[in-house]
Chain A
Amino acid sequence: MLSVHLILFLAFGAIAVAGAVNLLVQRHPINSALSLIAVMAALAGEYLLLGAEFVAAVQVIVYAGAIMVLFVFVIMLLNAGVEEQTKGSHVAVFLGIPSMLVGSLLVAWVVLKHSGTEAVAAGALPGAPKVIGQLLFHEFLLPFEITSILILIAIMGAVVLASKPTVPGGGPAKKVND
């Protein structure tokens, strides 16, 4: 019997998988970026189904908002065009694709057969921002502070790496041609 919950799960999952496959198929980076945004929005719906409202909101704001805007900005900045096709190895195609299919079918069979199939009800968790905030600032206080240092280092690294390179003579940096 199909419940509403299962129908919603299948719909969001279909959007996510279609977006992920579209990311692989598209040749232009901007199309890949837009399909990745679709994947992230569908995953936010899955988080809502799992009762994690706050994570769903953060997924939309941070991932689909901030990080993907950064990606699209860099694609526009570098004027990235259609990617060039390169020659792959035939052995990898003829051996890799069948063995990948067999392996993924095996993993799916094991997971579906041998996992506890308890239902996950919508809103079953106390996933309110208050509870998560208490957890974050009591039990996970040290990791939280360490991630703030990580963010600080990332900001400084990005500024150093993306700034104009200068050589001691004062002229522009030499281009590498190979």
Chain B
Amino acid sequence: MVPLSYYLVLSGILFACGVTGFLIKRNIITIFMSIELMLNGVNLSFVAFAAHWHALAGQVFVFFVMVVAAAEATVGLAIIISVYRTRETLNIDQVNLLKL
């Protein structure tokens, strides 16, 4: 039997790793993967709360989070391809204009 708080601590660790990666990484694709890691941490706490309160709505929210993550990954990777086509770099320090 595992207490709810263990799941929340694991979820917090994953979210903190995602935030750290978002801040210290310099490759745009890795920064996007850090965002996915943060969303996964949030999903874990959703499912843990759903199991704790015996409410299935938490699991349905996980599906919506996955849909938003898929849409975000699609548009974001398209933007990355477009940026790479004009600048030929993936380093975030060299992408300092909103202009494509």
Interface size on B, residues (CB 8 A): 74
Q: How far is the CB of A128 from chain B (nearest CB, A)?
A: 10
Within 8 A of B (CB), among A86-127: 86, 88, 100, 104, 107-108, 111-112, 115-121, 124-127
Q: Which B residues lie within 8 Å of A127 (CB)?
A: 56, 59
Q: Which B residues lie within 8 Å of A119 (CB)?
A: 1-3
CB < 8 Å neighbour of B10 from A13, A29, A36? A13
Q: Mark A68-79, 1 if CB is under 8 A from B, else 0.
A: 001100110110
User: Would you call B2 and A78 a contact (CB within 8 A)?
Assistant: no
Interface-centre pick from B2, B10, B93 (highest chain A CB count, 10 A):
B2
B interface majority secondary structure: helix
Within 8 A of A (CB), among B77-100: 77-82, 84-88, 90-91, 93-94, 96-97, 99-100
Q: How far is the CB of A39 from chain B (nearest CB, A)?
A: 7
Interface residues of A (CB under 8 A from B): 3, 5-6, 9, 13, 16-17, 20-21, 23-24, 29, 32-33, 36, 39-40, 43, 46-47, 49-52, 54-55, 58-59, 62-63, 66-67, 70-71, 74-75, 77-78, 80, 83-86, 88, 100, 104, 107-108, 111-112, 115-121, 124-127, 131-132, 135-136, 139-140, 143, 147, 150-151, 153-155, 157-159, 161-162, 165, 173, 175-176, 178
